[in-house]
Each structure stands twice: as C-alpha cells, then as structure tokens.
C-alpha cells in the first residue's frame, strides 16, 4: 500500500514536471503565430479581415475585385479584433486589409488628434509603420458611436454624448471587454462630460445580437454600435452626436503591404471610389437581415457597381 502510493506520487510528479516543461516550451514563441506564413516570393496577395461581418464583406469585395483583375488571392478572414491582427499586418504576413481611418489611427497612436475625415486620413498616413500604406479612402464610414435606444433618448431628450450627463438613472455601459479601456471608453465619459457610469457589463459578441438585445431590454443603457449597423434602423436605436470628435472619422480604407503593386492599387482605389455610406449600410443589412453570405453580397455589389 505504502509503496504503491509512493509509486503513484512519483507518477504524478513526473506528469507535473512534464507539463511544466511542455508549457514552458510554448511560452517562448509568439502565442498567435500559426506557423504558416506565406512565401515571400509568391505573387499571391493575402487579404485579411476582422472578425466583424461588415469588414469581412468589404474584404470579400477587395478579394473578388482583385481576382477579377487576374490576381491570386489568399483569404485570411475573421482574424479577430485589431489588437490581434495589427501585429500580423505589421509583420507583413497580410497584404490587404480593410480598415477604418480613425480607429486604426487611435490604435497606432493613442494620443492622435483626429478630426475630420481628411485630417484623420492625413495623420494616419504619418503614423503608419514602414512597409505599410493606405490607399484612397472610401466615402463609406463605419464609425464607433455611443448608442442608446430611441425610448431612452426621448425620455431624457438626448441628442449628443454630453447630454448623457442629464440622465438621472444609473447608466450601465455594455460592450466587449476592450471598450472599457478604449480612449473613448466609460472613464472618458465620466472625466470629460461628468457622466456618472454605474458599471460596465461585458458582452463579448462585438455589437452583435446579444448586445442589441441587452440594450433593447434596458439591461445596459449605452453601448458602442457601429454607425453602419442595420440594427440602428431596425431596432430603433440612436447614435448620439459626437461634436467633440471623441470618436474619430472612420472612413473605410484598404491598408496594404509593399506587395500591392500599382495595378492592384488601382483596382482597390476603384472599389473605394464607388463605395458609399448608404452602400455599406445596405451591404450590412443584406448580411444581418437577409442572411446572405459575404461572397454573394460582394459579388452582387461588384456587379451592380459595374466596376470590372
């Protein structure tokens, strides 16, 4: 009995030591490196997208437009949030990525001044690391916004973000974890506008159906919804005005690596020139309300825009 126990103890110890060694092995590398980076020499363009359906549609439009013009495209979609994929673009393993001018600028430089669409775009060009550039931006914007329900806005006569200070009931902010620490997050609302925030409820579906339901159910009072979201219309939400440019202008823009040559750049610029804000809302609506795939939505838009 005694020896058997000791043998078992030894076995447990061996497993524990083995596990520690194995885990330590994992620790030295980049935890997100999948190991299959693309060949440097190949002419294939890697198109990436955020894990956000609207971004994926734009990425699919880029991909199909490039394919129409004879490029080979490797799709690396749904890479997650900016915090995850930004290092991938910087390391050059992705060549084309749909981005938003203001959000990208803030990610590159948290102290950036921002401003109008043109000002934001100019600052973004300065902040981009070597080897990366942005092509023409589209008119289409998909901005962050502090969003409330129409009923809540009517109750307190809310128009812009600052007017939230007049709300007399506790305000709970809901949204993905990163919202809590973003420069326009709840802390800034309190410090800049004196808006009392009762708490933060994480809802990790990135402004998806759970977030909308929480807002409509009044489980949370404000959240961050993108202005191109079809839910703003269909669920009677109000994106509060932002006169102080708390959120930067967020025009859709392709971020590209050095591998994107002039011909590819022309293709992407033609797409950007044609993409309007209304287009973006209707593309999003086709995804959310009609449940069409990104491929179909992108193909239909390219056909209708009569580009290639």
Partner 1 sequence: MNLFVDAFNWILDPANYAGPGGIPVRLVEHLVFTVVAVLLASLIAIPVGFLIGHTGRGRSLAVATSGGLRSIPTLGLLTLVALWVGIGLGAPYVALTVLAIPPILAGAYAGFEAIDRSTIDSARSVGMSESQIVRTVEIPLGLPLLIAGIRSATLQVVATATLAAYVADFGLGRFLFAGLKTRDYAEMLGGSLLVILLALALEGIFTVVQRLVVPKGVAFGRPPVDRARSARPGPGMDPAITKGNH
Which region, judged by CB under 8 A, interacts with partner 1, from 153-161, 170-178, 248-256, 280-288? 170-178
Contact 83, 112 (CB under 8 A): no
When binding is defined by CB under 8 A, the residue of 126, 154, 169, 205 that contacts partner 1 is 205
Which region, judged by CB under 8 A, interacts with partner 1, from 35-43, 113-121, 136-144, 174-182? 174-182
Nearest approach in angstroms of CB 208 to partner 1 is: 9
3-state SS class at 180? helix
Q: How many residues bind partner 1 (CB under 8 A)?
A: 28
Please give the biggest Cα pair distance in the chain. Answer: 82
Nearest approach in angstroms of CB 163 to partner 1 is: 25
When binding is defined by CB under 8 A, the residue of 21, 31, 35, 262 that contacts partner 1 is 31
Region 219-238 residues binding partner 1, contact defined as CB under 8 A: 219-220
According to the binding rule CB under 8 A, does residue 1 interact with partner 1?
no
Q: For residues 223 and 284, which CB has a smaller minimum distance to partner 1 in the complex?
A: 223
**How far is the C-alpha of 139 from the C-alpha of 143, rounded, in Å?**
12
When binding is defined by CB under 8 A, the residue of 17, 209, 261, 266 that contacts partner 1 is 209
Radius of gyration of the chain (CA): 23
Nearest approach in angstroms of CB 17 to partner 1 is: 15
Is the sign of the CA dihedral 276, 282, 78, 68 positive or negative?
A: negative
**How far is the C-alpha of 81 from the C-alpha of 267, rounded, in Å?**
26
Q: Where are the alpha helices (DSSP H) in the chain?
A: 2-27, 53-68, 82-90, 101-108, 117-127, 150-155, 186-193, 209-216, 231-234, 262-274, 277-288, 294-305
The neighbour count for residue 81, using CB atoms within 10 Å, is: 15
Report helix angle 117-127 to 101-108, nearest 10: 40
Site string for partner 1, 72-101 (x = CB under 8 A): ---------x-xx-----------------
When binding is defined by CB under 8 A, the residue of 199, 266, 290, 303 that contacts partner 1 is 199
When binding is defined by CB under 8 A, the residue of 21, 22, 24, 110 that contacts partner 1 is 24
Which region, judged by CB under 8 A, interacts with partner 1, from 55-63, 124-132, 169-177, 232-240? 169-177
**How far is the C-alpha of 244 from the C-alpha of 193, rounded, in Å?**
11
According to the binding rule CB under 8 A, does residue 181 interact with partner 1?
yes
**How far is the C-alpha of 259 from the C-alpha of 283, rounded, in Å?**
28
Interface contacts to partner 1, rule CB under 8 A: 23-24, 27-28, 31, 81, 83-84, 174, 176-178, 180-181, 199-205, 209-210, 213-214, 217, 219-220
């Amino acid at each position: 009995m005694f020896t058997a126990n000791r043998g078992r103890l030894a076995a447990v110890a061996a497993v524990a030591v083995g596990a520690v060694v194995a885990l330590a092995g994992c620790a030295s590398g980049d935890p997100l490196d999948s190991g299959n980076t693309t060949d440097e020499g190949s002419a294939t363009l890697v198109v990436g997208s955020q894990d956000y359906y609207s971004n994926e549609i734009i990425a699919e439009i880029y991909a199909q437009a490039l394919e129409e013009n004879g490029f080979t495209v490797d799709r690396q979609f749904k890479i997650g949030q900016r915090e995850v994929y930004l290092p991938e673009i910087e390391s050059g393993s992705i060549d084309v990525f749909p981005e938003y001018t203001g959000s990208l600028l803030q990610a590159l430089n948290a102290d950036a001044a921002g401003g109008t669409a043109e000002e934001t775009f100019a600052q973004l060009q300065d902040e981009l690391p070597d080897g990366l550039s942005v092509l023409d931006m589209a008119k289409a914007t998909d901005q962050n916004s502090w969003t409330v329900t129409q009923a809540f806005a009517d109750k307190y006569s809310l128009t812009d973000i600052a007017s939230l200070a007049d709300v007399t009931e506790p305000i709970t902010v809901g949204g993905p974890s990163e919202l809590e620490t973003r420069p326009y997050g709840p802390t800034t609302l309190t410090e800049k506008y004196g808006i009392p925030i009762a708490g933060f409820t994480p809802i990790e579906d990135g402004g998806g159906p759970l977030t909308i339901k929480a807002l409509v159910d009044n489980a949370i009072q404000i959240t961050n919804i993108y202005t191109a979201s079809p839910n703003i219309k269909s669920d009677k939400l109000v994106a509060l005005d932002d006169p102080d440019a708390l959120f930067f202008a967020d025009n859709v823009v392709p971020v590209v690596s050095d591998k994107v040559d002039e011909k590819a750049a022309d293709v992407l610029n033609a797409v950007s020139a044609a993409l309007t804000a209304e287009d973006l809302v209707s593309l999003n609506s086709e995804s959310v309300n009609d449940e069409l795939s990104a491929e179909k939505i992108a193909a239909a838009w390219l056909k209708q825009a009569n580009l290639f």
